[in-house]
Amino acid sequence: MFNPSHLVRELIATGTAKLRLSLYDFGSALVLLIIAASVCLLGLVFLLYGIYQSLLLATLPPWMAGGTIALAALLVALLFLLLARRRLAGTRHPPPPASRLIAEMSEQLNEATERGIKAGEQLSRSVKPIDLALSAFIAGMIASKASRDARGRKARSGNGSPPC
């Protein structure tokens, strides 16, 4: 049966849960970005400086060694940005229970509407104006007879005779 208060409670609960999940996803992605950025920055500084000093300066001119290190740093930063973007985009959650409830109620309402339309069409095909006139005539006769019987009982009870 259609219960509006239940529907409203389900909608509010679903919205709250969705908001909580979105805030959790955003917060966790932000924390991951901050941690990744700080660790990446610190680690890359030492790693790149070590690579620059020990390997590249021995084999390449200083400007070429610096360019190689900068390119490697940009590639690692791009990798972390892509991971953060994927985390912010998140995975698609299945539809919440309230939307299924709304869909079921909507389907039931559509079915009831269709049944009502069909019943109305059948009634309009089967009931003719003469049927309505005869029904009204018979109802009038019954009401008249009931009214006369009631007046007769009242008159007899007023005369002291026992009611029928």
Residues 2 and 52 reside in one and the same domain = yes
Residues 85 and 38 reside in one and the same domain = yes
What per-residue confidence (pLDDT) applies to 70?
81
Dist. CA 25–CA 122, nearest whole Å? 56
124, part of any domain: yes
Task: Choose among 73, 72, 83: nearest CA to 36.
Answer: 83
| pTM summary value | 0.33
Residues 3 and 73 reside in one and the same domain = yes
Residues 90 and 125 reside in one and the same domain = no
106, part of any domain: no
Q: Looking at 101, 130, 147, which one is the last position of a domain?
A: 101
What per-residue confidence (pLDDT) applies to 149?
86
What per-residue confidence (pLDDT) applies to 77?
81
Dist. CA 122–CA 51, nearest whole Å? 88
Residues 71 and 134 reside in one and the same domain = no
* Residues in the chain, pLDDT under 50: none
By the 10 Å C-beta count (0-12 exposed, 13-18 middle, 19+ buried), 124 is classed as: exposed
DSSP structure string for 87-154 = HHH-PPPPPPHHHHHHHHHHHHHHHHHHHHHHHHHHHHHH--HHHHHHHHHHHHHHHHHHHHHHHHHH
* SS3 of residue 76 by DSSP: helix
Residues 82 and 134 reside in one and the same domain = no
163, part of any domain: no
141: left (phi over 0), alpha (psi -120 to 50) or beta: alpha
Domain that holds residue 2: 1-101
164, part of any domain: no
To which H or E segment does residue 36 belong? Answer: helix 4-51
Count of domains forming the chain? 2
Residues 68 and 42 reside in one and the same domain = yes
Q: Looking at 79, 101, 123, which one is the last position of a domain?
A: 101
pLDDT, one tens digit per residue, over 132-162 is 788 888 888 888 888 888 888 877 776 655 5
CB 43 within 8 A of CB 130: no
What per-residue confidence (pLDDT) applies to 2?
65
Angle at 130 between CA 126 and CA 132, to 5 degrees: 75
Residues 55 and 25 reside in one and the same domain = yes
**How is residue 75 written in tokens?**
């590639």
What per-residue confidence (pLDDT) applies to 96?
59
What per-residue confidence (pLDDT) applies to 10?
78
76, part of any domain: yes
Residues 48 and 119 reside in one and the same domain = no
Residues 3 and 60 reside in one and the same domain = yes
What per-residue confidence (pLDDT) applies to 44?
72
